[in-house]
Structure 1
């Protein structure tokens, strides 16, 4: 993480400071005004009276910024407004080439400083990329953020830093192209991250995948010149609070051409390096949990391959025998992600899990339904579990919309020659994909998250940026850590 977070007892004289003010503030307290001249104080108070939400005062040697809490109907919306203020603030700091900033909370919202810092740090993320010309690289001027006084404890700052590192890991993985991150390299990167954070990784190679008869993963891999992997990430602290593990499953298609059911290009295929964003989110979540020593036993399963039309590529009409023993008629080779996930969901049963959550950039139907603003959720977990996950989504602004898995949707995936087929109707495609996965997610509570919309953005959007967003990491971290309370 290039941006360092730290605690400071007080801001030094003539340092760049950010003050978070309560909603409706028009008059600065003497403590907040500090050493401002009467003219400077009048300028700030006039701007606040004009209902400006972020006021910048340039002292030339240093800067003062005043961020006003938004007036929103829910705490989640106030929190999101603070993150977005962090993004705006980052733009101002970058323009002024500020390297160090001190943030002080003058509002009654206890976590305001952490939320503003979160938006600031997420906005500061840069994918290193592969440019060789030093002039073309964007140097990050902001390097240190100090949270002043009682704005946050050292433990809270350290936890936020660990969480952000998990998000950035996921973003880095999603942003890497296929020739830098094939299935084997993906598995190795996740293992390296585990060595750094404190989770273990067992990488199953082709021979082991064949021995386990993972027919979905093997079929998708047939057209690739490179072997598949199946990574088992496990974080098990000494005294976990849960008796049965939480299992996270992530789709790991490192590039999706659509196979023989070739995607059109441009547009549809061009961004398909992001088709492993579910697997990246699993790795990022495990990283954050391990880095922060969260006392939960969590397992991540990431089946990985690319999907290409070469060689002995699987074809529409093929019938596959899956890890579970069920047979699947292939109607479309571009509906490949559910085949990988089906094997992993079947494999997850061996752990007798407390709950299984899978994440996948699975369907265009989810994007058409929700755009990039939310992920689709569905599954067999209890309403209480869905409610807790939804609450976590609103808390971190990675919102979920629950869709049904009614019995009637099973008609969409019926096959004349196999137990089921891998493609539903033209309507409700994200639901029929979920209904397909349901057949393999048996013996435990399960939630499916289709993150196809928010996982990768083709244009910059506030602190989510452009490219891989790390969607799922903050959501799952919030949800899982709340199980401790």
Structure 2
């Protein structure tokens, strides 16, 4: 989609399809609409308060009056505007509108940013394999922002953030026969190098030399060798001596291994690499935004399949740091590859490491699609800032504890630790397992409930949502802001 900005414009620019953002009915300028049009808008707004987008059809074009639900909470107010952007796109798609002008009256540039963000994110569709034109979603081609207050820095940020979400969604939505450990690494390396990021892809031979037993163990059932991709954005003006490391689970397809998934549980397992797509998209966005931070992404990648050599329950794996893990469930594989990555991160002495992973069904069952299960270890200040970022972009965190008692649930009689515990506290024991491999400030994000949806979910769409991308970009921006204010 092309996103354009006009800071100088005339009334002629409104003689086309336009959407106008009004904080309230009282903010609609006198004589902007005809008496009949204004009465119609007032009637709809009064009788159907959930209809935040009210179309006014004229001879050759349509105007859309946007009256988002008011809210005292600034973050919820912006979220309501994004959702109004989603409602607007439903009209655009139905009427097959290719170009739209948006403007605002008495609304801030942040409000207009949220509206544009909602429109752009709602316009995404993964249609690579859809040949039936009748089923293909009509997509807006050009969005023109008409505003004296909106600046080109905001325009660039809007483009980069939404494109990062698009990249994440594209990667997660891609089919397993096309996206495997090798092709994922190749795509990430190419995308990273295009924007000046140092990219390294470790192949199986290198991974074997590093003795990453978790990644190699999960990969035993696959015919495609594993990869471990490292992306590093380290500009000349970075403000953090110690890097922020983002680690994403890169299971490109998860059959469950010998503990095979049954029924529909395997249906969307192409999305089990959403964590990898998230962290890579964030670091690429950080480079494009020229953020003065030393940020790295680690992407350990493999699929989890079954053959005669596959890992089985009862196996004991020796990890990168020498710790041993008893495998009691081959479908608890994501934490095994993340553990190697977390151990490897020790050599960089990170300021903070964040894992993003579709790790447990327990997280999804606990809070559903409305939040991200999160845990922290020795990172209270950073966690509070991340939670604040989540509130701001409406990708909210729900904190679960990492109390020491939970470690008792994953103690092993035959190894240092086992890879799964009982059914209860499943999201926490997974986080506790990861914590075991850290020696630095650590935050874990379980995005199992938020990363993929089978039903249309507003501007988050259907299929891959990209949730986590805006959260982590906002967090990095807030880290910079805090540094500047200190």
Q: How would you bin the TM-score normalised by the shorter chain?
A: over 0.9
CA distance change for structure 1 residues 5 and 330 in 2, over 3 Å: closer, same or farther?
Answer: farther
Of 190, 193, 199, the residue aligned with 2:191 is: 193
In structure 1, what is the equivalent of residue 471 of structure 2?
A: 475
Distance 2:23 2:134 in 1: 41
Deviations 1:138-193 (A, max 9, x none): 26342111111234111101111011111111100000111000100011111121
Does the CA-based 8 Å contact 2:395-2:471 persist in structure 1?
yes
In structure 2, what is the equivalent of residue 28 of structure 1?
A: 28
- Give the CA deviation at 1:13: 4.1
In structure 1, what is the equivalent of residue 161 of structure 2?
A: 163
Alignment of 1:129-168 (within 5 A): 129-131=128-130, 133=131, 135-136=133-134, 138=136, 140-168=138-166
- Give the CA deviation at 1:40: 2.6
* Corresponding pairs, count: 477
- Give the CA deviation at 1:136: 4.9
Does the CA-based 8 Å contact 1:318-1:329 persist in structure 2?
yes
Deviations 1:257-304 (A, max 9, x none): 011111103x10111000000000011101211112111110000000
Alignment of 1:50-449 (within 5 A): 50=47, 51=49, 53-131=52-130, 133=131, 135-136=133-134, 138=136, 140-265=138-263, 267-442=264-439, 444-449=440-445
CA distance change for structure 1 residues 141 and 214 in 2, over 3 Å: closer, same or farther?
Answer: closer
Distance 2:118 2:291 in 1: 23
Does the CA-based 8 Å contact 1:28-1:45 persist in structure 2?
no
- Give the CA deviation at 1:45: 4.1
Does the CA-based 8 Å contact 1:104-1:151 persist in structure 2?
no
Does the CA-based 8 Å contact 2:219-2:302 persist in structure 1?
yes
Misfit runs of 4+, over 4 Å:
48-52
Distance 1:3 1:463 in 2: 18
Distance 1:396 1:250 in 2: 20
Say what the alpha-carbon RMSD is for the aligned residues.
1.6
Distance 2:179 2:310 in 1: 21
- Give the CA deviation at 1:46: 4.2
Q: Give 3-state SS (helix, strand or coil) of 1:64's partner.
A: strand
Q: Give 3-state SS (helix, strand or coil) of 2:455's partner.
A: strand
Of 450, 471, 480, the residue aligned with 1:454 is: 450
Alignment of 1:1-12 (within 5 A): 2-10=1-9, 12=13
Distance 1:428 1:246 in 2: 28
Distance 1:117 1:258 in 2: 40
- Give the CA deviation at 1:8: 4.6
- Give the CA deviation at 1:104: 1.2
> TM-score scaled by structure 1?
0.95
Distance 1:64 1:88 in 2: 14
- Give the CA deviation at 1:478: 0.3
CA distance change for structure 1 residues 38 and 73 in 2, over 3 Å: closer, same or farther?
Answer: closer
In the alignment, structure 2 segments of 5+ residues that lack a partner are 482-486
CA distance change for structure 1 residues 157 and 27 in 2, over 3 Å: closer, same or farther?
Answer: closer
CA distance change for structure 1 residues 332 and 67 in 2, over 3 Å: closer, same or farther?
Answer: same
Distance 2:39 2:462 in 1: 39
Distance 2:271 2:216 in 1: 20
CA distance change for structure 1 residues 115 and 27 in 2, over 3 Å: closer, same or farther?
Answer: closer
> TM-score scaled by structure 2?
0.95
Q: Give 3-state SS (helix, strand or coil) of 1:191's partner.
A: helix
Does the CA-based 8 Å contact 1:105-1:151 persist in structure 2?
no
Deviations 1:46-67 (A, max 9, x none): 4445555322100031111111
CA distance change for structure 1 residues 343 and 82 in 2, over 3 Å: closer, same or farther?
Answer: same
In structure 1, what is the equivalent of residue 484 of structure 2?
A: none
- Give the CA deviation at 1:484: 1.1
Does the CA-based 8 Å contact 1:26-1:48 persist in structure 2?
no
Distance 1:300 1:448 in 2: 14
Distance 1:459 1:376 in 2: 21
Does the CA-based 8 Å contact 1:111-1:151 persist in structure 2?
no
Of 469, 476, 484, the residue aligned with 2:480 is: 484
- Give the CA deviation at 1:461: 0.8
Q: Give 3-state SS (helix, strand or coil) of 1:372's partner.
A: coil
In the alignment, structure 1 segments of 5+ residues that lack a partner are none
Distance 2:45 2:188 in 1: 47
Q: Give 3-state SS (helix, strand or coil) of 1:72's partner.
A: coil
Does the CA-based 8 Å contact 1:194-1:201 persist in structure 2?
yes
